[in-house]
Amino acid sequence: MAEQRGARRDVRSGLEGAPEVAEPRGSGVREEEARAWDALVATARRTVADGLVVGTSGNVSVRVGDTVLVTPSGVPYDRLTPADLTGVDLTGRQVRGTLVPTSELPMHLAVYRSTGARAVVHTHAVHATAVSTLVPELPVIHYMTAALGGPVRVAPYATYGTDELAENMLHALADRSGCLLQNHGTITYGATLDQAYDRTAQLEWMCRLWLTASSVPGLTPSLLSEPQLKAVEERLRGYGQRGAE
C-alpha cells in the first residue's frame, strides 16, 4: 500500500526554524547492518527508477541475523540516509531507529517467519497489478515462471497492512518465491536483495508480456504445459556461474 499516509516518529526535525541535524545510526548498530541498510536504500530507489512503484508506495526489507531492516513509512526513498536506519525483530518490536516501519510490516515478517528468505521486495507494479484484477493465477506465458517456483498465484484481496493480507499472501506463496496481491501489487523474496528484486522485475515483465499477447484481437497466446515447465526447472538448477547466488 502507498506509504504516504503512514505516521512517522521523525526526531531529526527539532524545534521549528532550527536547522535539521542528522542523528547517528544509533547505538548497537553493527557494520553488517549498516552495509545492509545502504543496499536496501539502493534497492528501494531502484524500484522507483524502474517504474515499479510511485512515490513511497511499495517497500523493501532485508534480514540481518534476527533483525529485519525495513523501509520506513512515508519517507521518499531519495531522502533516506544512514541516520534513517529502521529495524525490528521477528515479532515486530522496533529495535533500530526512530522512524515508524512500513505499514506492510506484517507481510514482510510473515515471509521471514515462514521461509528462509533474507530479503523481500513489495511493489505496486502496473502490469502485475492489472493482471491481479483479471485472473486467479498468471497464465504460464514464459518459462521464467519456473524461476518463481511455478505458476504465480494471486492472493485474495485484503486491506493493506493487515494480518489477513499477510495470511492470504502466505497461501499464495506456498512453494513459490513470489505472488500477486489482488488489486494491490506484487511481493517476492530471495536469498539476497538482488535476487528478490530480480524476481520482482521478472514477474512484472511476464505480466506485461501476457497482457500484450492476450490483447491481440482474434488470437489467444500459447501457454507452456506442466511438463515443459518442469523441464525448465531442471535446467535452472544448473544455471549461472558456479558458486554464484
Q: Which among 16, 23, 32, 104 is annotated as catalytic?
A: 104
Contact criterion met (CB below 8 Å) for 182 and 157: yes
Distance, in Å, from the CA atom of 34 to the CA atom of 62, rounded to the nearest integer, reads 12
Distance, in Å, from the CA atom of 202 to the CA atom of 160, rounded to the nearest integer, reads 23
**Is 164 labeled as catalytic in the residue annotation?**
no
**Could you tell me which residues come within 8 angstroms of residue 96 by beta carbon, excluding any fewer than 6 positions away?**
25, 26, 28, 29, 33, 67, 69, 85, 86, 87, 88
Distance, in Å, from the CA atom of 192 to the CA atom of 163, rounded to the nearest integer, reads 25
Phi, then psi, of 214 in degrees rounded to 5: -80, -10
Contact criterion met (CB below 8 Å) for 98 and 10: yes
- Distances from the Cα of 111 to the Cαs of 45, 75, 128, 195, 230, in angstroms? 22, 23, 20, 15, 25
The residues that are catalytic are 104
